[in-house]
């Protein structure tokens, strides 16, 4: 049974808050350039002292700046969006000294348990993940009823017949509310529908197909000829798979382009900042994010995702972030880049998807 952690608001009656000055806002003089002493945002809840009150950032992301409009409207924006005349929060301290407080223990229970020295305190291939799966099953069943589950997929998910079908079942079961990937995930999924191969290998047997190296290129070419993924579905070219299931169920997705792309598919966003904007739109509403075997997309999403979300009723809840990969390096890279609240599971992602489907949609 899943229980949502209680948000612990700072004690604003304590001296560090009552004695704190108000935030200083400096004006942008050059578009896209922040004032010299700008405050850079983090993944944590942040409060700003304005007009005698402490205001929580409602929508945040790391490595951005905070602008003020009107008397108390705060917005987190990327440097590239700064306009001349914008007022930017300044201050490099985070404990109220300059009117800014970064709340790092918002959902901390206070019960650290254990001892100062312990074996297996880090997550490695030797770690037991049974409890992580059970907790994830409970979380996803909770999120199915009103949360927003965002998936970040690498192409490995569609290289296996069972994993590809299991993910389609998760979509139909209401466990996928948004998806972000690159050209490869969609291309090889569509290749699987048209030719029953992925990168030239038969999906189930893994046997190389005749002229297999042409299969993904032919799939790309045929969809480009149709004009779009939707058009290819409508004319019966794409008959199954993840992209069809997302389309049929009305689940939004973002395919971000890469310098190494073949084709690409018509829906792929070639402009990197347009892709970033589209990814942030999905990330903003996510309450749980699960990233599978795609290091760069995972880091990009982690940089956009705060550790919390402010609800419509003013309540605050955590944003859950899972990174799943066979490589310790890949999952550790996310925390190295500042996404300190992400939880890692080390396993083959095809096995992960199949196991997860069985856990939330038992036969």
Note the pLDDT tens digit of each residue in 121-173: 456 767 788 999 999 999 999 999 999 999 999 999 999 999 999 999 999 99
Asked if the bond preceding 264 is cis, omega within 30° of 0, the reply is: yes
Query: Structural domains in the chain?
Result: 15-102 (2.40.420.10), 130-360 (3.40.50.10690)
Average pLDDT over residues 85-97: 97
Concatenated DSSP letters for 20-62?
A: PPPPEEEE--BTTB--TTBPPP-SS-EEEEETTEEEE-SS--T
Place 342 in a pLDDT band, splitting at 50, 70 and 90: confident
Q: What is residue 287's three-state secondary structure?
A: coil
Average pLDDT over residues 313-342: 81
Question: Which tokens is 360 given?
Answer: 């939330």
Tell me the C-alpha to C-alpha distance, in Å, between residue 9 and each of 13, 35, 36, 96, 98: 11, 30, 31, 15, 19
Which of 169-178, 246-255, 294-303, 347-356 is the least confident region?
294-303
**Cα radius of gyration (the chain):** 22
Say how far apart CA 64 and CA 337 lie, in whole Å: 14
Place 337 in a pLDDT band, splitting at 50, 70 and 90: low
Average pLDDT over residues 277-290: 96
Place 335 in a pLDDT band, splitting at 50, 70 and 90: low
**Mean pLDDT across the chain:** 93
pLDDT digits (tens, 9 = 90+) for 10-66: 999 999 999 999 999 999 999 999 999 999 999 999 999 999 999 999 999 999 999
């Amino acid at each position: 049974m899943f229980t949502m952690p209680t948000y612990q608001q700072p004690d604003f009656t304590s001296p560090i808050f009552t004695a704190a000055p108000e935030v200083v806002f400096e004006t942008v003089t050059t578009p896209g350039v922040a004032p010299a002493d700008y405050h850079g945002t983090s993944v944590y809840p942040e409060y700003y002292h304005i007009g005698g009150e402490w205001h929580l950032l409602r929508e945040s992301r790391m490595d951005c700046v905070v602008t003020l409009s009107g008397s108390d409207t705060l917005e987190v924006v990327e440097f590239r969006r700064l306009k001349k005349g914008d007022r930017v929060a300044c201050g490099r301290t985070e404990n109220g000294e300059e009117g800014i407080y970064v709340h790092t223990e918002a959902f901390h229970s206070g019960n650290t348990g254990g001892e100062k020295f312990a074996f297996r305190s880090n997550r490695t291939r030797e770690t037991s993940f049974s409890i992580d799966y059970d907790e994830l099953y409970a979380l996803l069943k909770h999120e199915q009823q009103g949360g927003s589950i965002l998936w970040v997929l690498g192409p490995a998910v569609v290289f296996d017949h069972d994993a590809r079908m299991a993910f389609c079942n998760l979509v139909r079961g209401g466990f996928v509310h948004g998806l972000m990937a690159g050209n490869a995930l969609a291309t090889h999924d569509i290749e699987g529908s048209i030719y029953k191969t992925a990168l030239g290998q038969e999906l189930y047997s893994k046997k190389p197909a005749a002229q297999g190296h042409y299969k993904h290129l032919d799939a790309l070419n045929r969809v480009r000829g149709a004009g779009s993924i939707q058009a290819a579905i409508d004319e019966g070219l794409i008959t199954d798979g993840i992209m069809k299931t997302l389309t049929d169920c009305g689940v939004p997705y973002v395919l971000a382009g890469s310098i190494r792309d073949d084709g690409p598919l018509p829906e792929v966003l070639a402009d990197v900042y347009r892709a970033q904007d589209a990814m942030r739109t999905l990330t903003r509403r996510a309450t749980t994010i699960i990233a599978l075997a795609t290091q760069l997309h995972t880091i990009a999403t982690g940089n956009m995702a705060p550790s919390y979300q402010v609800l419509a009723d003013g309540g605050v809840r955590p944003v859950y972030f899972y990174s799943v990969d066979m490589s310790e390096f890949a999952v550790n890279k996310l925390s190295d880049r500042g996404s300190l609240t992400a939880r890692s599971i080390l396993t083959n992602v095809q096995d992960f998807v199949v196991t997860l489907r069985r856990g939330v949609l038992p036969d």
